[in-house]
Amino acid sequence: ERVNLEATGGLGEYNLEIFRQRAGLWANTFLRLMDLKRSRLEIPTLDLFLDGDMVSGIIHDELVKTNQVNVMDSAAYVALVMSHAIARVAQSFEETRVSCTVGNHGRLQQKVEFKEPHASWDYVCYQMMAQFLANYEHIKFDIPRSTWQITRVVNHDWLHFHGHGIRSWNNM
């Protein structure tokens, strides 16, 4: 049974149309901010970190019931929308490097497995995005088979990962 979203004011609402709108808003806002920064700085390279949860996934029974479409269709849609957004912002740079790590929502089963952490719909999304953007010679993807990655940006190494393995304590 669907919740009446008007009664909740859209609280907790999320679907593919909202995702598409947010991806467009991200691209527009990003490009506006770059225009402001470039009035004082030269920025030839864009480094994007995509750190998982690209799809809602199947790790919670609730999500299996309430996802708008199945996880395969979601992964394909997300890959296409994100590819368009990345291509759009990448036009403003000589080089765009996309560093990817998987999250927890995209994994193929509810239980965490450690031997193949890349067995994830996030990984599939990234691979599809890399294929969609393969003809853009200035856009490069780095898609490791691990849950973390070290990416060098302007002479500094950045460790990045989704963060789902970090345990909370005292509500922090």
Give residue-wise pLDDT tens across range 77-131. 999 999 999 999 999 999 999 999 887 766 666 666 666 776 788 899 999 999 9
Q: What is the C-alpha to C-alpha distance for residues 99 and 26, in angstroms, rounded to an integer?
A: 17
pLDDT (tens digit, 9 = 90+) per residue, 131-160? Answer: 999 999 999 999 988 877 888 888 898 877
The pLDDT > 70 percentage for the chain reads 72
Query: Minimal CA–CA distance to 34: which of 43, 25, 26?
Result: 43
C-beta of residue 13 within 8 angstroms of C-beta of residue 71: no
Identify the three-state secondary structure at position 97. strand
Q: What is the C-alpha to C-alpha distance for residues 151 and 47, in angstroms, rounded to an integer?
A: 9
Confidence (pTM): 0.77
Secondary structure element (H or E) that encloses residue 100, with its range = strand 95-101
How sure is the predictor about 6, in pLDDT bands with cuts at 50, 70 and 90? Answer: low
What is the pLDDT averaged over residues 22-41? Answer: 90
Q: What pLDDT score was predicted for residue 30?
A: 94
Question: 121-132 and 71-90 are packed helices; what angle lies between their axes, rounded to 10 degrees?
Answer: 40
Taking CA 52 as the corner, what is the angle to CA 32 and CA 111, rounded to the nearest 5 degrees? Answer: 160
Q: Which two tokens stand for residue 114?
A: 């450690």
